[in-house]
Structures are given as structure tokens and as C-alpha cells.
Structure 1
Amino acid sequence: MPIADEVKQELMQVRRDARQLYSQDQVEAAIGKLAIQLTEDYSERFPLFVTIMNGGMIFAGHLLTRLDFPLEMDYLHASRYLGDTRGGDVEWIVTPGASLSGRDVIILDDILDVGSTLLAIVDACHAQGATSVKTCVLVDKVHDRKARPGLKADYTALEAEDFYLFGMGMDYKGYWRNAPGIFAVEE
């Protein structure tokens, strides 16, 4: 279905008006630091990295190619947004195909905002018998609305202000995941 002209105009206006929080180079440097930390922690453990689609896809692509040790990859798709800019209930779309039983699992996602989706995924991994479950996000959005007070990912590349963000996997109404850097929507 073709995209309406008014939607195209909105998308282009959002991109033009957005404030860049991190350049592509800054994001790459932060991912490099994460790769060093993950290599130190997991190079001898043969972990399973599970990427949350669609947001975590770009982050995973940039991170996993920097990890020079044996690892397995899988994905899942769960969302609270489904193309909207406000989150609802967690909806499971695809679950991992690999067995999580007895595995060290690292969940990769683009952003830790409220954290409801990430907490539900961590609980599901434990319920499937994972030995350990750690979370790794590109961006932690700083605010006081977390699903659990003080909620933090185990591994975080960058922190960002409490704006609607897009780029590097994060989307604006399903678009701009491909934006080179991290951008804040000025409302």
C-alpha cells in the first residue's frame, strides 16, 4: 500500500526538526566499549544472544560482528508499540527457536524506556530454564517512569534524555530506524 503524501511530509518534517543526540561515530564508539566488556564477560561461556525485533536488529548487527568468540544468535519479537509512539500491553509475535535451557542468555534491544517489555522477556527466559539472563541495550532513557524503581540494563551503551527517540533501530511510527545516529523528536 503506498504511503500517503501527508505521512511522507510528516516523516520528512520529523527528521528535519529532530535534534541529534549522538552521531553515528559516537554510537559506534559506545558499541565498541560494550563489545570489549561483553568479550571479557562471555568469551569462555558460549552464550546465546537473543535480539528483540525490530528495534534491536541494527544494534545487534553493529555489536555482534565485534565479538570474536563462539556465540549463538536468535531473535524474538515482542512489542508494546506496534507502530505507535505510545506503549500498550506487551504483545508476543515470535518467540526464540533455540532452547534456552541451561544457557547464558543476553537479550539485545535498542532502548530501555519503561522496561515492561524487557522485564517480561527476562521472566520468560528464566521460565524456559536459562542459567543466566542479562540485558544489553543501546540506549537507556533517563526518567523516573521505569517499570521497577532503579531498573537498569546489565549492559548499556548510551544514556539519553526523556524524548521520543529514533535512529539506530529505534523508530518513529515504523520509520527512521535507519537514521545514522540517535535523534530526539522535538515536540
Structure 2
Amino acid sequence: MSVIQVHDKRFQPYIGATELQQRIKEMADQINNDLKGERPLFIAILNGSFMFAADMFKYLNIDAEISFIKLASYKGTKSTGNVIQAIGLDEDLFGRTVVILEDIVDTGKTLSQFLPQLDHQQPKKLLVASLLTKPEAMVYPIKIDYLGFSVPNKFLLGYGLDYDGLGRNLPEIYQLVE
């Protein structure tokens, strides 16, 4: 991995593809153990979590379903502070174990607005699995049940994370060069 350019910004390597896959497998193993005998519904938050969700599902050996919802709060490299729900959720969550799959918990605002909507449907359990979190940026405390990596409060790109629409396809994660 080397420094790359996306739009007008330069990004340096941060987390390699092998390290990402290894950690996701460890997270899946923990979920397999914790939710054995259940049939959880995983809700992947688009667009960013699509790669994380796909790879997580490869490592799950429990019966599980997946659904997708689109929430957005970013424009460029800054959070807009507004969460927009573009695609709704059709599944009935009552009495079900639900696992939210999120690419990154940054300020926590997205999940602080989304989780109460889900909790209102009375799931049996409501869990959060996030590949990344930025503890320094957290404004709205969110309990993350399954966490990949804690990262510094720097803008990240790749493995589902974008900069103005580009970079999601990169198999590794890069950090903005400032």
C-alpha cells in the first residue's frame, strides 16, 4: 500500500486488507458464540457498511438474515449533523435479536437517532457491530457490542468509507494526510 490521491486529498495506508479480514473473522466468531441457537436479523447501514456486512456474513456459521437501510450524515470529509433515512426497514423486529452493522461510529449521532426507532419495535436484543469507532469524536455515547478497531479522530477512506463518493472499493483503509 502506498499514498493515494482521491479528488483533491492525499491518503496514507492505515489498516491493511489482511488485518481487516482477520479482525472481522474474530468479530464473527464472537457473534457465532454469543448468538448460537438464535436467528438474528442483521441490519447493515448503507452505503458505508456494504463491504463489512458482506465479509461478516462470509464468516457467520449461525442462521441469520440480513436487511439494509440507508442513513447518511456525511458530505465531503465533514459530518453534516443531519441524519437522513432514505431506505426504510420492512422486517418486523418484535421479539427478534437484531444486530446493526455499521462501518464507523464517529460522533454517534447517526445511531443515537436510529437505535430508538428500532427499539420502539421491541426487539428481544438490539446489538451494534461496528468495524471502526472514533472515541475522541464521540458526542452521543453509543454502546458498541462488537468492535473492530478504535481509531483516532482522522478522516478515513476505503473498505466502504468514501470521500465524496470515491474510494469505497479499496480493500484496505487509508487515513487523510494533513
Same fold (TM over 0.5): yes
Aligned partner of residue 99 in structure 1, secondary structure:
coil
Q: Who is 1:68 aligned against? A: 61
Identity of aligned residues (%): 27
Quick check: 1:119 aligned with 2:112? yes
Contact 1:140–1:152, Cα closer than 8 Å, also in 2: no
Q: Who is 2:171 aligned against? A: 180
Aligned partner letter, 1:160: V
Q: Who is 1:4 aligned against? A: none
Q: Who is 1:11 aligned against? A: 6
Q: Distance in 2 between matches of 1:76 and 1:43?
A: 25
User: Which consecutive residues of structure 1, in runs of 5 or more, have no partner in the other structure?
Assistant: 1-9
Q: Who is 1:34 aligned against? A: 27
Q: Distance in 2 between matches of 1:13 and 1:80?
A: 21
Residues 1:142 and 1:19: Cα distance change in structure 2 (over 3 Å):
farther
Aligned partner letter, 1:105: V
**How far off its partner does 1:12 sit?**
5.5
Q: Who is 1:158 aligned against? A: 149
Runs of 4+ displaced beyond 3 Å: none
Superimposed CA distance per residue, residues 83-118 of structure 1 (whole angstroms, 9 cap, x where no aligned partner): 432222111111212111111100001001011101
| TM-score computed with the length of structure 2 as normaliser | 0.91
Question: Counting strand residues as a fraction of each chain, which structure ranks higher?
Answer: 2
How many pairs are equivalent? Answer: 174
| TM-score computed with the length of structure 1 as normaliser | 0.87
Q: Distance in 2 between matches of 1:80 and 1:12?
A: 20
Contact 1:32–1:63, Cα closer than 8 Å, also in 2: yes
User: Which consecutive residues of structure 2, in runs of 5 or more, have no partner in the other structure?
Assistant: none
Aligned partner of residue 102 in structure 1, secondary structure:
coil
Q: Who is 1:6 aligned against? A: none
Quick check: 1:171 aligned with 2:166? no
RMSD, aligned CA: 1.7
